[in-house]
Every structure is written in structure tokens, then in C-alpha cells.
Amino acid sequence: MTRDPRYDVLFEPVQIGPVTARNRFYQVPHCNGMGRTFPSSMARMRGVKAEGGWAVIATEQIDIHPSADITPATEGRLWSDEDIPYLARMCDAVHEHNSLALIELTHNGKYVTNAYSREVPIFVNHMPVVGTFPVQARAMDKQDIRDYRRWHLDAVKRSKKAGFDIVCCYAAHNLSLAGQFMLRRYNHRTDEYGGSLENRVRLFREIIEDAKEAVGDTMGVVVRFAVDELRGDEGMEWDKEGREIIEMLAELPDLWDVNVAEWHNDSQTSRFAEEGFQEPFIEFVKKVTTKPVVGVGRYTSADRMVSVINKGIMDMIGAARPSIADPFLPKKIEEGRIEDIRECIGCNICVSWDISTAPMRCTQNPTKGEEWRKGWHPERIEPKSTDDTVLIVGAGPAGLEAARALGQRGYDVTLADALEEPGGRVTRESKLPGLSAWARVRDYRIYQIQQMPNVMLYPASALDAAQILEFGATSVAIATGATWRRDGYGRAHQFPIPGTDGANVFTPDDIMAGTVPEGPVLVYDDDHYYMGGLIAEKLRAAGADVILVTPEVKVSAWTDQTLEQTRIQKRLIESGIDIILSHTLRVIGNRDVTLACGYTERERTVAASSVVMVTSREPVDQVYWDLVANQESLADAAITSVRRIGDCYGPATIAAAVYEGHRFARELGAGPMGDIPFRRELTALSADF
């Protein structure tokens, strides 16, 4: 296939100071849970993106000094020459595919605790560090400022040694020390680094100038700057000081990478922000500088990308999450394969695992994080190694991905689902408020399957064990999903809650099927991800009086990991939902329930005509047990393997279900994998141990 001429503009080169990007696709710096801890994984992951056509490939944050120690985050470090080799490995992986390697240097000021280095944090003024850590940052004196400039400059020079083509001076997300100097609410200094905006910008200007002088015409020097903090008068605003700063420094860097702060604003989930939502904040930038401009907005549509280029909003398409969901997005546009793009669904599972200090994963891209560990490539897969024919029972996220990947390998696959509409939980959950983009998980895979003559999908085809035995496949995967429990069993309750056998008790499955219980409705959330809040929101929109109760101290507590907890709680409050925190559900009556305080165990009664239990799920796996109970029947049917995948095997996230479906497809015919089915990165002992 050939590229649509409409997209030619996306493949024009862009000059970034002394270096040239081969097209307009720019993978902005993003964390990944690998960094210095899993450097081989990090390097391979970045290299795959370069192979996929991204012209600029950036690191995550790279802290520059022991006083900038971002432990426990598994990000980058460039304190000394000893840190150069693993970063050079990333540069080599990027250069192998003719892309430019960019490093983002940072000192996060009051956002670090120096938990590893034990250095006292430094900041503009005396101030507690962010969070509840019992540490306070000390105010920087003039020597500290000189030292900071020296540390940053040394890191710039080391970046050049490592082989980077571009160095980024960082002032975004409210994380960078130089950026924190600019903010009025932080900077109360009375010297030349405080007071006027020009003084507050002085330190940032100095590190940019230092970098440019050090690298000359050998590296590009770019700036990453948040033009608005979405705090109103209290913070940076794009049409006030944000604009003034860019006007002040307009021609100094070789490129402007602009966004909004903080991270939870910059990386909003699709539940709360549409593609391109940052455009109103950054569209002024190209009007005040002649240098190239890059911005982000979870862009997955090639037409929208062309639009922002032609409108003069930006010169390069910045991306973090879309480049994770599909590292080959640029190449697919270039080759005229738009339909093959795995579009980011904006769920922030990638963010959540990085925050958990583990290698990132992706709902859409099950190979993410496995490029080095397991040798998985997002576009290539080993051809089939056996003559197996495969029957997959259940066309949810695991079944669809297993069928797609097995089909790509060349296996003959039959995919049967009990329902008329395939997709399983993805189809149900994508109809909840704000989750329509999640349907992309289903739609991408169904489209791919439809192009494969060796994969057949049969909806409305429930199969029992006898029918599976008669079918004639040699390998069977059971992907029948899971259902929500009604009895309350979960994290806070290891025994059924009295009253859960009543007619007034429901589950999320009931609500997603269209049931609207009699109100007031109490939603009991012991799951702590998105489901409890969404069920409450859906019922409230249907006109019910809703009370949300959770044993946690906040609603949807785990969504702190996906950067959306505060928005979820705000939406529930503003919609009129009564929220009761830190309480467990003791007893369900006919018209009321008994709750208990999680700290004192004091009980209280709350009026509730109906209760929705959002606690845990049980696998729908009876057909599996029916099959494996009779090994002779399996042998007679020539079935050599039966395996559960996805929620049928272990209820978890949609990302986990997709991964397990992909894993099944990769491992079919591969033989025993061993107790550790992936490569590990083992730290070498110091020579003087």
C-alpha cells in the first residue's frame, strides 16, 4: 500500500538546531518503570519505537545529582561517567534506525526526598517536600545555584559522550527545579533570582545558555515548558506569565516542547479529556517564536495530526501514550495502513505501572515491556511451529487477542462467543460514562481478524464441554471471562455479608445490563479501581439517589495510579452522590444497611433500598473443569492442550487479559517455558565487594 498524499506533510524533515529529524513524529520524554533499573528493557523499548518511525526518541527524566535522587522511581540517572554506558546503549538502539536520541535532564527540587542518597533536598525557599514524607527542602544559597548550574552542565557534557543528539532543559509538570524558580507561589527570594518575572526566569535562561555554549553545533538544545498549570491566578497561566516567558526566551532554544502542568493534567485519561485537548493552551506559541514547536494531546488520528500542522499550532506531533500503544504508528501512516494502528485508549495503565515502579504495560499493546525480556516485537511474531488447529471459547479481550496473534502466526483458529456482540467485558464497560474509547481494544482486533482467512469468528455460539470435544480442534483456550460476586467477598470481607442473598442486591453486571434498582441505591466499592465510581455515576445519571461507600479513605483509591482519582471524586461530589469513606458494610436489610467505621468499628444505619456490590469477581470456568475432568475424552478427541486465559484464569485488568491472550498465542507449540519465562537483568557486584 502507498501513503495517502494528505499525510505527506507529516513526513517532511524538521531542523532542530544543528540536527535534522527525518519526519514530524516526536516521542516526548515519558517514564516507563525501566530506566536505570532495567536498562536493557528500556533501550530495546526505545529502539523499537525508532524502528517504528518516530524521528525523535526521548528518555524519561534523568536526574543529574545525588541531591536530585528520585528513588524509588525507576527512572534515569546521570550523576557521573559511570552512568553513561546504559544510556549509550539506548542511543545505539535509536541510531540503528536513523532516529535522533534526546535526553531530558532534571533536578526535581522539592519533589525529591533523596531516599537513597540521603542528601538534604534543595529548593527555591525552605519548604516541605511534596507528599507526607517527613523531610523539608532547604533554601538554595548562591553557591547552591552555582553548583546546580555546574551539575546540569556536567550532565549535558556526559549526554554528549553517551551519544545523544538533543538535550532537553526541563521546566514542565511543576517538577523541575529551574521551572519551580519561575512560579510566584514558590519563589519568595529577594535576590536576582526572585521578584520580577525576568529574575525568576534567570536560572532557566542560564542553564539553556550553558548547554548551548557547551555543545555548540553538535547537539540540539530544546526546552520542555508547561505554559499553564490549570490553577487559575494561583499558578502559571498561558495567556499571562506563560506567554511572557516564551516571548522572553523565544529564540534561545532550538525547539519548544510545550504542554500543561501537572502530570495529572498533561496526561488526562480519555474519561476526562478528548484528543487534542491541550491545543487551546499552546496554540499561541508559534506566533511568538520562529523555532519549531511540539505539543501533545494523545493524538492517534492522522487527519488530526495533519490539521494541527496545517493550522500552525505545532511543527511536530508529540506523543507518549500513543507511541506506547503503537510504536509503529508513524510507519503505518507512511505505508498507507491507517486501519492497522493500535490506537491508544487513554486508560493510563502505562502510567500506573510506572508509578508502581515496575516496567510499564499497555492495554492495547501486550508486547510493551517485553521487547527485551521476552523478545516480543509489536509487529512481528514467530510463524506457527505445529499443525494444531485452535478453538477459542470466548471473544472478550483475551480471546480476541489470542485469535488475532495466532492468526498472524498462521494457525487455523475458530473463535466462538456466547453473545451476539463480541468483545466481552470491553463491550460492556465501554458503554459506561466516559469509556467509549476503550472499545478500540475490541474494534482493532475484530478488524485484524476480519482480514485473516484462517480465523473464523462465530458470535451467538455458546459451547459446552461436549460440543468442544466434538469440534475437532487440537488445542483449546477457554476465555469465558468472569462475573462480579454478589456476596461481598473481597478485600475487606472474607465471609459473605449478611443480607447479600436478598432480592435488593445487585452487581455491576446487572447495572451494565440495564437494571436500574429502586433508590436510594448504595454502591459498596471494595474494588477501588474505576468500576465503583462509574456504576455510581451511571445510576445517578439515570435519576437514582446514590450513596457510595468504601473502606478506603478516598473513592476509587487505586486510580491515584492512573492520575484520575481527584477528577473522579470531584465528578461524583458534583453530581450529588453521597460519599461515605472508611466504612465497611456489615449487614444489608430490606430498606437500610448497617455500616461500621474502619477505625473504631462504631456502627451506623443508612437508608438504602438497593445495594450494588463492587467487591471481587469469580472466573466463569466451569466448562474448563468439565473438560479436564475427563482426560480420556480429551485424548479420544485428539485435544492435546486445554488452557484458561484472561479473566477466566485470573480476573484482573483488561490489559492483563490482552496480555494473557497474547502470551497463549506466542507460547503455543513453544514447549516448556521454565519457572522463569523471561530474561532478567542482574546487577553486577562491585569490584571491591
C-alpha cell at 104: 531530558
C-alpha cell at 201: 526566569
The span from the CA of 641 to the CA of 570, in Å, is 49
Pick the catalytic residue: 31, 168, 350, 362? 31
Pick the catalytic residue: 170, 489, 530, 624? 170
SS3 helix, strand, coil % of the chain, rounded to 5?
35, 20, 45
C-alpha cell at 50: 525508532
Q: Tell me the three state secondary structure of residue 253.
A: coil
Q: What is the CA radius of gyration of the chain?
A: 27
Q: Which residues of 142-173 are buried (b: 16+ CB within 10 A; e: fewer)?
A: eeebeebbebbbbbbebbbebbbbbbbbbbbb
From residue 624, alpha-carbon distances to 475, 621, 640, 644, 649 in Å are 13, 5, 14, 7, 10
Instruction: Give, in degrees to the nearest 5, the angle at Cα 401 between 435 and 649.
Output: 90
The span from the CA of 384 to the CA of 117, in Å, is 50
Q: Is 31 a catalytic residue?
A: yes
C-alpha cell at 335: 505505508
652 and 363 Cβ atoms separated by less than 8 Å: no
Instruction: Give, in degrees to the nearest 5, the angle at Cα 381 between 400 and 379.
Output: 80
Q: Judging by beta carbons within 10 Å of its beta carbon (0-12, 13-18, 19+), is residue 175 exposed, middle or buried?
A: buried
Q: Tell me the three state secondary structure of residue 474.
A: coil
Q: Is 91 a catalytic residue?
A: no
The span from the CA of 23 to the CA of 318, in Å, is 12
342 and 655 Cβ atoms separated by less than 8 Å: no
The span from the CA of 178 to the CA of 250, in Å, is 17
The span from the CA of 355 to the CA of 312, in Å, is 35
Count CA atoms closer than 13 A to 177's CA, side-chain side: 35
224 and 179 Cβ atoms separated by less than 8 Å: no
Q: Judging by beta carbons within 10 Å of its beta carbon (0-12, 13-18, 19+), is residue 53 exposed, middle or buried?
A: buried
| Phi–psi pair at 592, nearest 5 degrees | -155, 170
C-alpha cell at 333: 501512516
Q: Is 170 a catalytic residue?
A: yes
The residues with which 21 forms a beta bridge, in sequence order, are 14
Pick the catalytic residue: 173, 264, 493, 662? 173
Pick the catalytic residue: 69, 165, 254, 266? 266
Task: Look up residue 162 and give its DSSP letter.
Answer: H
| DSSP-H helix ranges across 250-391 | 263-266, 279-282, 302-310, 321-325, 329-334, 349-355
Q: Is 662 a catalytic residue?
A: no
C-alpha cell at 642: 486445554
606 and 592 Cβ atoms separated by less than 8 Å: yes
Q: How many residues in total does the chain contain?
A: 689
Count CA atoms closer than 13 A to 420's CA, side-chain side: 0
| DSSP-H helix ranges across 546-592 | 565-574
Hey, how many other C-beta atoms are within 10 angstroms of the C-beta on 27? 28
- Active-site residues, by number, are 31, 170, 173, 266
